[in-house]
Amino acid sequence: MSANACRAALVLIMLTCFCCLQTVTTAQRAYPDALRRDIERARDRVYPAVVNILAVTRYFSEGRAQRAPSGGSGVIVTPQGHVLTNYHVAGNSTRITCSLTTGETLEATVVAHDPLTDLSILKLRADPKRRFPYAPLGDSDALKVGEYVLAMGNPLMLSSSATLGIVSNTRRVFTDFTQTEIEELELDEGETTGLLTRWIQHDALILPGNSGGPLVNLNGEVVGINELGSSGMGFAIPSNLARQVLQQVLKTGRIERGWLGVTVLPVEKLGRKTGVLVSSVFPGSPAQKAGIQPGDIILSIDGVPVNARFFEEIPLFHQKVASLP
């Protein structure tokens, strides 16, 4: 090959590498730009519906009723001004005020409390004809590990903040040290929560004050209500569970659930793929009256098959029982 031909080939190779480098650089630049646009879109859709909650909480000490201020976050989920937040934010309160992102402050009334899911539904006090900006509830079952999410709220009472993270687990449950039973969480008021919940674990920063605020996907939909946070981990109540609570409250004004009276375990260690294992039966419960005993395998409820091979599926069994009339 002649010297001129070699030089031409070298120039062609350099041009090709330069073009490839330009393409990679452009793609790298486009990726954060696209992510920024998605974040801005999600922010603009949900941010106006975030509220800062201040509550006067009543408790008893040395035989006397005491009152103390507390705070948290919430999100408006209907144009009429219904707010979703945590029960541990609004429970046992004697007065609740909500500050909107516009700076306006409104009093709120309690529509319903649900300690079992650690959720409360409030209603902003305003002209009945007024319509509020509200955030849509998305499908939490569609979340995938690695998906970007925004945690919005009022950490450390710094109003209207947002942090970015990714979904780490879409069906987190807590078990005891020996991993032989699900552990429920005890709230400040002594109630327990978690029987029905498979938490969304994420790494968006959660601090005191974020409780009750929305976890938002990049479509601008609320996919969870933040509840817990520590050591770089956050946990949110799935929006699909929150939607069930909200719809029942809006329809009936209260929470009603079926109760069977059993505790159950997964069947994987029995070599089974179907059913749930009854570990205990409460005295006088519907289960005892029906003759169900510890060690039995429940295969269906109300004609619908129930399966729990692993602990992560136990809350789905309890949700099915809770849905019974």
Name the residue with higher pLDDT: 1 or 168: 168
Catalytic residue (choose from 82, 88, 113, 202): 88
Give the model's confidence band at 282: pLDDT under 50 very low, under 70 low, under 90 confident, else very high: very high
pLDDT > 90? residue 29: no
Residue 263 has pLDDT above 70, yes or no: yes
Burial of 10 (0-12, 13-18, 19+ CB in 10 A): exposed
Task: Tell me, yes or no, if 202 is annotated catalytic.
Answer: no
Annotated active-site residue 161? The verdict is no
- The domain spans of the chain are 3-39, 48-124, 140-244, 262-322
Q: Over the stretch 294-309, which tens digit does the pLDDT of each residue have? A: 999 999 999 999 999 9
| 203 carries an active-site annotation | no
Mean pLDDT, the chain, as a whole number?
88
Out of 93, 140, 161, 211, which one is annotated catalytic?
A: 211
Among the options 93, 114, 118, 140, which is catalytic?
118
**Separation CA 285–CA 258 (nearest Å):** 12
Predicted pLDDT at 189: 63
* CB-based contacts of 100, cutoff 8 Å, min separation 6: 48, 51, 106
List C-alpha distances in Å: 31 to 22, 62, 145. Answer: 14, 59, 19
Q: In the CATH scheme, what is the homologous superfamily, with its name and number, of domain 48-124?
A: Trypsin-like serine proteases (2.40.10.10)
**Matching fold, domains 48-124 and 140-244:** yes
Q: Was domain 140-244 assigned CATH 3.30.720.200?
A: no
